[in-house]
């Protein structure tokens, strides 16, 4: 598989969601990623496609022989990524100090929820807990209702795996000048908080005066919201600027001196009622067709399955089929070094013999390690 990261060698200690997503991004862009799975492991999440583009080796890191094999792999790699609680890899004998002693140029990426230190560092948690403490969950939702859970996109993937990948790439860039590796501490609370930077600025400027669901970008403004169409499906409206709003009104057939001024929040309830009544007269796809070719900023709300077949996404190849599963294609795009189509996620230990051969271990040695349960 091609891509701008071709030649970059990454070792990934198998885990759940955030770190695998970060490594998927690196693999999508051309890095050679070897995932270290547990010898007796299996797919942690049914149907998980985050492991695409990898090779897999089964190692028992609780055994000294397994830890030593990982260190030998580290010696010839650029990056190691792990997603365990603080202290776990140190107890296994493959923590940053030991790995960097074997390879001073190694970038050691650490993915956790709370970060490597702080009062909560050793506590269990999940995406919802991290985005809650980051201040990213409370603003999301309707007025008068509890916060809406934004799937696990904000903590696990946006503030977690994606920021981990950015941190790894930044450390690699710095290594070009210093010749030295370093540890990247990627905490999901930190990353989710970073995603709210714009919101903090709007609040400081007085441009976010209301509570949840009562502001410009949280569904409070009637011209930036979701409406139900005649068929029970939905359209998204995002006509923030005056010109776009005028085109929206033209598409919806709304006009007249009695239409509330959109700049006055006091008129927003009536304006919302008028937009909702208009949208309810046609189906979702009828509205999408009417808005086509305009700047009305009206779009159909598609299911994940429908998104792959949308004309724009199909034209750009936004989705690909890998191993019989339709899924998002690698992004972003590069004109000189485009990424190829990812390979399907490997089975646990599928490439053990191949990877160990690259470390100089002959067939009989590998078989002996298999019989001893060190590799799988």
What is the set of active-site residues?
Answer: 126, 156
- The packing angle between helices 284-291 and 242-252, to 10°, is 130
φ/ψ (deg, to 5) at 54: -110, 170
User: Alpha-carbon distance 148 to 128, whole Å?
Assistant: 10
User: Alpha-carbon distance 167 to 211, whole Å?
Assistant: 33
* Bridge partner residues of 326 (DSSP): 321
Could you please report the per-residue DSSP string of 104-151? TT-EEEEEESS-SSSTTTTS---HHHHHHHTTSSTTSS-TTSPPPP-T
Residues 5/29, Cβ–Cβ less than 8 Å: yes
Nearest to 137 by CA among 68, 175, 192, 90: 192
Residues 284/234, Cβ–Cβ less than 8 Å: yes
User: Alpha-carbon distance 332 to 136, whole Å?
Assistant: 25
φ/ψ (deg, to 5) at 236: -105, 130
Question: Which two tokens mark 229?
Answer: 């169409």
Cα-based distances in Å from 134 to 29, 53, 261? 29, 32, 36
């Amino acid at each position: 598989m091609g891509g701008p990261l071709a030649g970059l060698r990454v070792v990934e200690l198998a885990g759940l969601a955030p770190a695998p997503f970060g490594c998927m991004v690196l693999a999508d862009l051309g890095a050679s990623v070897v995932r270290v799975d547990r010898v007796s492991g299996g797919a942690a999440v049914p149907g998980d496609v985050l492991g695409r583009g990898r090779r897999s080796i089964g190692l028992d890191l609780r055994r000294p022989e397994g830890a030593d094999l990982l260190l030998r792999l580290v010696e010839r790699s650029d990056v190691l990524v792990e997603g365990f609680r603080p202290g776990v890899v140190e107890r296994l004998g493959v923590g940053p100090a030991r790995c960097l002693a074997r390879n001073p140029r190694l970038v050691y990426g650490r993915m956790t929820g709370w970060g490597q230190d702080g009062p909560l560092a050793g506590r269990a948690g999940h995406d919802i807990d991290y985005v809650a403490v980051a201040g990213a969950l409370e603003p999301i939702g309707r007025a008068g209702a509890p916060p809406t859970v934004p799937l696990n996109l904000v903590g696990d993937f946006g503030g977690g795996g994606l920021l981990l990948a950015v941190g790894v790439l930044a450390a690699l860039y710095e290594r070009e000048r210093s010749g030295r590796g370093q540890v990247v501490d990627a905490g999901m609370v930190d990353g989710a908080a970073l995603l709210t930077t714009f919101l903090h600025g709007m609040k400081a400027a007085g441009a976010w005066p209301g509570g949840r669901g009562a502001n410009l970008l949280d569904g409070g403004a009637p011209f930036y919201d979701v409406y139900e169409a005649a068929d029970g499906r939905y359209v998204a409206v995002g006509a923030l600027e005056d010109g776009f709003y005028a085109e929206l009104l033209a598409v919806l057939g709304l006009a007249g001196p009695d239409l509330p001024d959109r700049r006055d929040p006091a008129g927003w309830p009536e304006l919302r009622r008028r937009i909702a009544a208009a949208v309810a007269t046609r189906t979702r796809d009828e509205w999408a067709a009417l808005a086509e070719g305009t700047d009305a900023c009206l779009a159909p709300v598609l299911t994940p399955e429908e998104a792959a077949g949308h004309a724009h996404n199909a034209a750009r190849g936004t989705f690909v089929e890998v191993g019989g599963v339709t899924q998002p294609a690698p992004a972003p795009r590069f004109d000189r070094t485009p990424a190829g189509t990812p390979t399907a996620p490997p089975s646990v230990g599928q490439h053990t013999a191949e990877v160990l051969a690259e470390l100089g271990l002959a067939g009989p040695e590998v078989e002996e390690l298999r019989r001893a349960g060190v590799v799988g």
